[in-house]
Amino acid sequence: MKKRLGLLPPATERRLVIGVSMHRTGTRSLASYLRSLGHKDLHWPWWCEQQISRHLDDHERIVKILEPLLYHYDCFLDVPFPGLYRELDRRFPNSRFILVRRDPTRWWRSVYRHWDLDAAPHRLDPFEELVYRQYDPTGMVRVTKDDAEALMSKALKHSEEVQAFFHNSAGKLLVVDLETEDLNVRISRFLGAQVQPYPHELSTEGF
């Protein structure tokens, strides 16, 4: 009946896997690993950015806009999802969240190269802005090569706030470090899945 009428199943029946790590923390490798476990992953839905660019402070509305994707896929990584974990947890309470931490200095070097900050400042894309503006009341929209301390501070703040949010929700959040050798074991154990070889889409420095 649900399929014939085009109705969506209750959100409480959905068990999503949501990566809440900052970008440049091995999100592509994590996506590949979760795919090997049978998940249907979505990594950065860039084609939706302009649609939500006028609603960056209304996360509930953004989740509503993204709702068709949240029912089509079951695994979500990279921006904007690290900025929507509170709303996604409320909307899909049976979901599981994975936070991959990375050494701040190595993370900044990766961001620096990815955005080619030697050449010019980087204008944040809407989804990037959504994540960063949570930790910047002035509304950062551009990053320069001199913003290392500011960005590393935001990345650390994000990690702290995610862990604080799930502090009383046992079993909902897995926290691992990118350099951990048994990432595959810990992720599979967390999700109740069989262990698979862990992929590395790029070199550690290039994530």
pLDDT tens for 102-153 read 999 999 999 999 999 999 999 999 999 999 988 876 677 899 999 999 999 9
Domain ranges across the chain: 14-194
Residue 23 DSSP code: S
Q: Please list the alpha-helical segments (H only) found in the chain.
A: 2-5, 27-36, 49-52, 59-72, 85-91, 104-114, 126-132, 148-165, 183-191
As a whole number of angstroms, the distance between CA 128 and CA 141 comes to 9
CATH superfamily of 14-194: P-loop containing nucleotide triphosphate hydrolases (3.40.50.300)
As a whole number of angstroms, the distance between CA 169 and CA 94 comes to 11
pLDDT confidence of residue 140: 79
pLDDT tens for 38-59 read 999 999 999 999 898 889 889 9
Angle between helix axes 104-114 and 148-165 (nearest 10 degrees) is: 120
Q: Which residue has the tokens 């649609």?
A: 51
pLDDT tens for 64-97 read 999 999 999 999 999 999 999 999 999 999 999 9
How many alpha carbons lie under 13 Å from residue 61 in its C-beta half-sphere?
9
